[in-house]
Structure 1
Amino acid sequence: MHYTYAQYQESAAYIRGKIRSFVPKVAMVLGSGLGFLGDEVENAIRVPYGEIPHFKASTAPGHKGQLVFGTLRGRNVAVMQGRMHHYEGYSYEEVSYAVRVLRLLGCDTLVVTNAAGGVNLDFHAGDLMLITDQIKIFMESPLRGENIPQFGPRFPDASHLYTPALQDAARAAARDLGIDLKEGVYMYFPGPQYETPAEVRFARTAGADAVGMSTAPEVITAAHCGMQVLGFTLVSNMAAGILDQPLSEQEVLDAAEACKDKFSRLVLACLERL
């Protein structure tokens, strides 16, 4: 389906009725097993997706499916505890719908996180990767269809989907914390099946360092409507064919739990620098 500007406004108006005068500035989309940061929000106001007009449900494991508004490290935030995925049956416009709503509510920065398979042979499970760019060969654009000029131009530039200045802030935060922050390109695959060993070899040849089933639609949408973007990948496992062992969703959740402290410290330190 194609959403109208009026529908985005309707969703934003409903949320404003819940959060009153609070104006979020930083939107955060938390991926599989990483939603715990939403539990650390102070003076939290929680709004389940199911209550918001035109929102879709988040059905993936480890995704609570709610917006949390409040403060983190002194920043006014809107945290998405769980995201929507194309493999759940949603269009890419539906997957990225919330980003535009959060933009209307006042967010000018988007922080995205995901758990993904490592493609770079120098990576290991448990590494954190700063996303410097993305590849989306296997998805149509969430901007497909009639353009809504209130959000952005028909043909937006994609030279810097991930904001260079925010990447510098993340590097500085990692250095101060003594965290070994990898860097690389995230490649989108639609899922829900994990990538085949041949697809992983293709991804490496194409220049990818990690592969996953999210993030790309939200980032394209955010950049289109003028938001700055900072992205992190938790390398939850090495992708298919590298270690010759089966992959599972439990492995992803276990890796997120094991890296909770390191990931939390990094993201919170970055918030202080935004």
Structure 2
Amino acid sequence: MTGITSQQEQSAFGAAAAEQAARYVRERVGANWRPPVAGIVLGSGLGGLADRIDNALRIPFSHVPGFPVVTVAGHAGQLLVGTLGGMPVVALAGRFHMYEGHDAALAAFPVRVLHALGAPVYLASNAAGGVRRTFAPGDLMVIADHMNLMFRNPLIGASEPGDERFPDMSDPYDRDLRALLHTAGRAVQVPLQEGVYCGLLGPTYETPAEVRMLERLGVDAVGMSTVPEVIVARALGMRVAAVSCITNAAAGLSPVPLNHEEVMEAGRAVASRFEALVTEFVRRLPATSA
């Protein structure tokens, strides 16, 4: 994106571009289109939920206006429209990361598209390293708050139509939706943790010194996504919930070297519990969640 100003980047991945992408999706669905109760993003190794979406229309990211091709293993790169738990949803099997060379505005652009499609709730998922020492691989953590150590904000530049210019981030992860996740977890017998997520730029994993710093700052899990998406969702007035799959102990907390295959394997191991949780959560959402 060399030579493109922040204002141009915002325009390229702003409200008008999101509406163009949403219009394409609605046209592909045709007469069967129903506004979704939630937009869902599936993180590394968690894409198996896509197979639980009934009557799913699958659209490759490369066909959606404004979406680049996904380059990360474990991300299928598809937008799905269908029903989950009997409720209409739009799901993204994969996401765009800043470490791929994308600007923060593009990393958050799919959330703008979900909003343009009418989703009042944004449900994010990700793979994360466990900083809290009591975490074990396979734990699911409801995100209660986050720290943005990516040092980029997708709202920088000209304000987009419909955005709150200075969005309140005192409760970025909706309290009632967090409670609903716990209710859904109890209903399907999936135990849940809750904690603070920290977004770092990547693509390197953290050093032991960085992990010690994060632990002292009160971070429970660390990853390379989600934060730009949540910022934009809140600026648009969407209600947000998010779940981290703890795939490994962060650097320095385990003698085992970290690698991406381990991340995906942990996601596959927890897949059935994650899918049951999200399905039950969506089933319990009201038809209008705004």
TM-score range, shorter chain: over 0.9
Asked whether 1:99 is paired with 2:111, we answer yes
In the alignment, what sits opposite 2:288? none
Asked whether 1:15 is paired with 2:25, we answer yes
Instruction: Note the C-alpha offset of 1:24.
Output: 2.0
Asked whether 1:215 is paired with 2:211, we answer no
Mapping of residues 193-204 of structure 1, within 5 Å: 193-204=204-215
Distance, in Å, in 1 between the alignment partners of 2:15 and 2:118 is: 16
The superposition leaves residues 159-217 of structure 1 with CA deviations (integer Å, 9 ceiling, x where unpaired) of 11100000111111222333221110000011001011111111111111000001111
Instruction: Note the C-alpha offset of 1:11.
Output: 1.4
Q: Which runs of 5+ in 2 are unaligned?
A: 1-8, 286-290
Q: Which shows bigger deviation, 109-118 or 178-187?
A: 178-187
Query: 1:62, 1:253 within 8 Å by CA — same for their partners in 2?
Result: yes
Distance, in Å, in 1 between the alignment partners of 2:241 and 2:63 is: 28
Distance, in Å, in 2 between the alignment partners of 1:165 and 1:186 is: 18
Distance, in Å, in 1 between the alignment partners of 2:203 and 2:164 is: 32
In the alignment, what sits opposite 1:246? 257
Q: TM-score, normalised by structure 1?
A: 0.97
Q: TM-score, normalised by structure 2?
A: 0.91
Distance, in Å, in 1 between the alignment partners of 2:117 and 2:189 is: 35
Instruction: Note the C-alpha offset of 1:5.
Output: 3.1
Query: 2:233, 2:239 within 8 Å by CA — same for their partners in 1?
Result: yes
Q: Which runs of 5+ in 1 are unaligned?
A: none
Distance, in Å, in 1 between the alignment partners of 2:112 and 2:262 is: 32
The superposition leaves residues 236-274 of structure 1 with CA deviations (integer Å, 9 ceiling, x where unpaired) of 000000012210011011111111111111111111222
Query: 2:15, 2:161 within 8 Å by CA — same for their partners in 1?
Result: no
Asked whether 1:264 is paired with 2:275, we answer yes
Distance, in Å, in 1 between the alignment partners of 2:156 and 2:224 is: 19
Q: How many percent identity over aligned positions?
A: 42
Residue identity in the other structure for 2:26: R
Residue identity in the other structure for 1:169: L
In the alignment, what sits opposite 2:10? 2
In the alignment, what sits opposite 2:49? 37
Instruction: Note the C-alpha offset of 1:116.
Output: 0.6
Give the 3-state SS of the residue equivalent to 1:28 in structure 2. Answer: strand
Give the 3-state SS of the residue equivalent to 1:254 in structure 2. Answer: helix
Distance, in Å, in 1 between the alignment partners of 2:137 and 2:149 is: 25
Distance, in Å, in 2 between the alignment partners of 1:9 and 1:115 is: 29
Give the 3-state SS of the residue equivalent to 1:229 in structure 2. Answer: strand
Indicate how the Cα distance of structure 1 residues 5 and 263 shifts in structure 2: closer, same or farther if over 3 A, else same: closer
Give the 3-state SS of the residue equivalent to 1:200 in structure 2. Answer: helix
Residue identity in the other structure for 2:158: E
Give the 3-state SS of the residue equivalent to 2:49 in structure 1. Answer: helix
Asked whether 1:137 is paired with 2:125, we answer no
Aligned residues: 273
Indicate the RMSD between aligned Cα atoms, in angstroms: 1.1
Instruction: Note the C-alpha offset of 1:40.
Output: 1.4
Indicate how the Cα distance of structure 1 residues 6 and 178 shifts in structure 2: closer, same or farther if over 3 A, else same: closer
Distance, in Å, in 2 between the alignment partners of 1:269 and 1:51 is: 30
The superposition leaves residues 46-96 of structure 1 with CA deviations (integer Å, 9 ceiling, x where unpaired) of 111111111122111110101000000011100100000000110010011
Distance, in Å, in 1 between the alignment partners of 2:19 and 2:183 is: 37
